[in-house]
Amino acid sequence: MKILLVASEVVPFAKTGGLADVAGSLPHAVAELGHEVRVLMPLYRIVRQRATHLQPLAAEVSVAMAGRVYTGRIWQGELEGLPVYFLDAPEFFDRHGLYGNEHGDYADNALRFGFLCRAALAALKVLDYQPEVLHLNDWQTGLIPVLLRTELAEDPFYRGMATLLTIHNLGYQGLFPPAALAELGLDPALFSMHAMEYYGKISFLKGGIVFADLVSTVSETYCQEIQTPAHGHGFDGILRQRAGHLLGIVNGIDTRLWDPGHDSVLPAHYTATDPTGKGSNKRALQRGLGLTCDPDVPILAMVTRLATQKGLDLLEAAWSGLLDRHLQFVLLGSGEKIHEEFFTGQRGRHPGRVAICLGFDDALSRHIYAGSDLFLMPSHYEPCGLGQLIALRYGTIPVVRRTGGLADTVHDPLDNGEQANGFCFREPTGQALLAALDRALAHFGDTSAWRQMVRRAMSQDFSWRQSARRYLEVYQLARQVRNG
């Protein structure tokens, strides 16, 4: 099968969130199953700085929007041996940020990503490349199904191309004033509740949801949650209308990048069959962060964006109770000012017990995953979650709120003793968080049971292989929906 994945960000070229991790890992996993996969993304300034061996192709694309013709150049690079096409349009993409700067989103994002969608389709003709499936991602690519099913519907070149739109976070919907329709050269009839209109604006994401052959999101539980008012961000009714063409697939992690048996930054390597090196990593983490060196004190860690969505308010509500427990606490992250100020205020107040590291450091994050005993993710919502999957891989037991991908990947002993790999709580309160933590600490005190849980966590397969097989089934289903 021939598949083109289109995304606004792809690891290792450009990243702001989990979308980039998926777009950088899934294509290789699908290709390993014997299929032809290519990737297309914008040529941002940061890509020019990071990517090497880019080759300009003898190909240009022209796109008419807002009474002007915009021209882009196509460059080709490589992602683990797979072709990557970069759309070069300096007017739109040669900027410091991907979507905005310190003042907010770029005012012309509708034109920028309208160009991406139109140019991606035009590039296929220029390259004489006809994928059977277009795998689209988030609002930035939402116009592609709209264009295919409206103005390009009778073009034989595109007629058989199936579309899958994956929603990585429903909170980002690509909302713009209605005047953007004319600027993008779109049919005014699309300003309809049955198409792209959303409460007096247009939504790229709604357009993609309405016109794509299939819609997916990044976990089965999140797929159900976004069809409810509590988690639907206003789109729950739209998604329920497409329920028969909506599904969830849990993300994987790149087990080559996240491997405690070979991670080059760790002082000691370890595996599920020989986890003894984890103790050495714990000692190194305690020494490095100024914590009391004691193997019998459990370390509870967070590596996270400091955002209310991530449950930082729940942690703050539980903070005094948490410090009453026999544990050490480590936090690495940055984000919203209110949470940064709270944790800045905790620095130095609990010597030997609490380490607060504001900012981000990849090497330190790996030390934390490897050296900690428990990993806290009290998210209010979590489409899939990456931290808990890495923590499991590194034998660090998650304590999570039961939502989204956390509910799909972390199994509590109270629910499933044979597959238990962590501890869950349901109510979004500090009290519920502490109750789950107490159960985890009690389990930690039972050395034999704890070792068994750690081995089970490390032995589970959260690689992209499993997810890639599921995506292939969905690609085939999308083709059936498109072509009958």
What tokens appear for 295 in the block? 């193997």
Residues in CB range of 457: below 8 A, 6 or more apart: 391, 392, 393, 395, 396, 397, 421, 422
Q: And the tokens for 200?
A: 């007096």
179: helix, strand or coil:
coil
- Tokens 């034999």 locate to 448
Alpha carbon 399 to chain centroid, angstroms: 20
Please determine whether the domains at 2-252+465-483 and 277-460 fall in the same fold group of CATH.
yes
Separation of alpha carbons 7 and 42, rounded Å: 8
pLDDT score recorded for residue 102: 85
- Which parts of the chain sit beneath pLDDT 70? none
Lookup: tokens for 238: 């739209």
Query: Residue 468 and residue 461: Cα distance in Å, rounded?
Result: 13
pLDDT, residue 17, reads 87
Name, in order, each residue with C-beta under 8 angstroms of 128's C-beta and a sequence gap of 6 or more: none
Tell me if 144 sits within 8 A of 208, measured CB to CB. Answer: yes
For the chain, counts of helices (H) and of strands (E):
18, 20
pLDDT of residue 19: 95
Distance CA 130, CA 3 (A): 9
Cβ neighbours around 426 below 10 Å, total: 11
What are the residue ranges spanned by the domains of the chain? 2-252+465-483, 277-460
pLDDT at residue 240, as a whole number: 98
Q: Which two tokens stand for residue 154?
A: 């009778």
Containing 221, the helix (H) or strand (E) segment is: helix 220-225
Domain 2-252+465-483, CATH: 3.40.50.2000
- The Cα–Cα gap between 404 and 383 comes to 5
Whether the link from the prior residue into 145 is cis, omega within 30° of 0, is no
pLDDT at 67: 86
- Residue 70, CA distances (Å) to 150, 182, 483 in order: 21, 15, 33
> What is the CATH architecture of 277-460?
3-Layer(aba) Sandwich (3.40)
Virtual torsion, Cα 290, 292, 296, 297, nearest 10 deg: -70
Q: Please tell me the distance from the alpha carbon of residue 47 to that of residue 26, in angstroms, as a whole number.
A: 20
Nearest to 472 by CA among 256, 244, 239, 214: 214
What span, in angstroms and rounded, lies between the C-alpha atoms of 245 and 243?
A: 5
**What's the burial of 377, exposed, middle or buried (CB within 10 Å: 0-12/13-18/19+)?**
buried
Amino acid 350: pLDDT: 96
Q: Residue 109: which residues within 8 A CB-CB, separation 6 or more?
A: 99, 100, 174, 176
Sequence length of the chain is 484
Q: Can you tell me which residue has the tokens 């969905």? A: 474
